[in-house]
Amino acid sequence: MKRLHSLLVALSGIALVLCPSVLRAEEYTFDVSETEKKPYSLGGYVELRPTISWLDQDAAMYKLRFYDRSEGPTLPEYKAALQLDGSIEKGWATLFVRLNTDYLDSYLGSEFTTTAFEAYLSLKPAPSLVITAGKRTFKWGKGNAWNPVAFVDRPKNPDDPGLDLEGYVAASVDYIRSFSGPLKTLSITPVLVPVSDHVNEDFGEANHVNIAGKIYLLLYDTDIDILFLSGGSRSSRYGLDFSRNITTNVEVHGEYAHLNDVRKSVIGTDGSTHQTVSDATSWLLGLRYLSEKDTSYLLEYYRDGTGYTEQELANYYAFVNNAYDYYLSSESDALLRKAAGAAAYGRPNAGRSYVYLRVSQKEPFDILYWTPAVTAIVNAEDRSCYLSPEITYTGITNVELRLKGTVLAGNRLSEFGEKQNDFRVELMARYYF
């Protein structure tokens, strides 16, 4: 209760300071000027998200994270967020800013974090030309849970792929042309991404200006993108994606990416580490289907050429278990710290092959405003899985409520079988303004 009280106080504070209008009630009046397009806009949301996890104390990732702590069988976390979106238009110039403030109260303590997700200036000197400079997201790719061709974006979290992400500082140009033949639209987007010790420092090696680009085609009613990245901070790579409606309620999409000289660090059961450098190919194929009863199906298969094989993951989890046993006998955590330093193994999906399925039903049995859904992610190599049922309610104006549960299952030394949690329940309450 103490943590919940602290969370509510923090949430109220950021709302009062940054958006006092959220807490003010006003009488409704009609003004003709309100129907006119204004040169500015301000919106966003405030969110409360408490979570409780039931821990798997025999799992490798539990031992790695909590070896020097005693947390008990459950782990509560309290999160709050305030996101503000604002824009100003003047002639053919637009300034857009998206600020995100997070509050987290967890076993590590509590903290506020404010990040500019996006902050860029966009110039449109001609209908077919847009010039943009600043921090932004590009959202390349057609996949829902994963985007192997998103060369200049941060990776999504498949657990909640719709969340906004922090962008990178970049300069880009969009040139668009329309035609009357089989090729209806052509768009060319060159991008420059500088990297230094203070700009885009987590993009890759510093002191490079990376060149990326996308060519978009609407050809025979098929959306096609051709993409590339080169420049030195990351290895060069190129890709292709597509999306096409086969019928009015069936859509197929896919992505293909080839990455040159990918460096990969592999840890054995004894803690020995070896580096590999090789080309890698990643691809995704997906299908969306909307039934006559408003049931939505989304199925995707993802093959990550940069991921770890079933045996490589099993060897890592075995090393963590061995390192934990060594810690208990010697009180030295050197091996555990080495395991924790292998960040690539801690990615949301560190394996090579995944199947993603999401099924949602809008207002079942004519029950208004309720949308139940279930999401499953399966590691296709070790057969471990993530299963997440949820239900969303939108019957209150500008309010979204979602109750979500998560079950992680798998054998020992499998990806989801060695996660720190067995179960998790999350409530999300969000108010849009």
| Closest to 279 (Cα-Cα) out of 259, 304, 293, 252 | 259
What is the mean predicted confidence (pLDDT) over 180-199? 97
Q: 265-276, pLDDT tens digit by residue? A: 999 999 999 999
Question: What is the three-class DSSP state of 42?
Answer: strand
The total of other beta-carbon atoms located within 10 Å of residue 395's CB is 10
- The structure tokens listed for 133 are 């400079």
- The structure tokens listed for 184 are 């209806």
- The structure tokens listed for 297 are 């199906």
Q: 281-336, pLDDT tens digit by residue? A: 999 999 999 999 999 999 999 999 999 999 999 999 999 999 999 999 999 999 99
What single DSSP character describes residue 293? T
- The structure tokens listed for 416 are 């989801």
pLDDT at 370: 97
Helix (H) or strand (E) holding 300, with range, is strand 295-303
SS3 for 130-193 is EEEEEEECCCCCCCCCCCCCCCCCCCCCCCCCCCCCCCEEEEEEEEEEECCCCEEEEEEEEEEE
The CA distances from residue 352 to 134, 302, 313, 425, in Å, are: 34, 8, 10, 27
pLDDT at 37: 73
pLDDT at 31: 52
What is the mean predicted confidence (pLDDT) over 346-359? 95
Q: How far apart are CA 204 and CA 157, in angstroms?
A: 20
pTM of the model: 0.88
Q: How far apart are CA 60 and CA 183, in angstroms?
A: 53
What single DSSP character describes residue 362? S
| Closest to 14 (Cα-Cα) out of 48, 58, 42, 38 | 48
| Closest to 228 (Cα-Cα) out of 281, 190, 199 | 190
Q: How far apart are CA 298 and CA 321, in angstroms?
A: 37
Range with the lowest mean pLDDT among 66-80, 85-99, 122-136, 220-234? 66-80
The CA distances from residue 233 to 35, 117, 207, 261, 388, in Å, are: 47, 21, 8, 12, 37
Terminal Cα-to-Cα distance of the chain (whole angstroms): 28
Q: Name the burial class of residue 282, with classes exposed (0-12), middle (13-18) and buried (19+) by CB atoms within 10 angstroms of its CB.
A: buried
Question: What is the three-class DSSP state of 318?
Answer: helix
Asked if pLDDT for residue 32 goes beyond 60, the answer is no
Q: How far apart are CA 237 and CA 230, in angstroms?
A: 7
The total of other beta-carbon atoms located within 10 Å of residue 333's CB is 16
Q: Name the burial class of residue 136, with classes exposed (0-12), middle (13-18) and buried (19+) by CB atoms within 10 angstroms of its CB.
A: buried
The CA distances from residue 273 to 16, 64, 315, 326, 343, in Å, are: 51, 18, 11, 18, 13
- Taking all residues of the chain, what is their mean pLDDT, rounded to a whole number? 92
What single DSSP character describes residue 38? P
Residues 6+ positions from 367 with CB-CB distance below 8 Å: none
Q: 115-124, pLDDT tens digit by residue? A: 999 999 999 9
pLDDT at 69: 87
What is the mean predicted confidence (pLDDT) over 132-159? 97
Which value, in Å, is the radius of gyration of the alpha carbons in the chain? Answer: 24
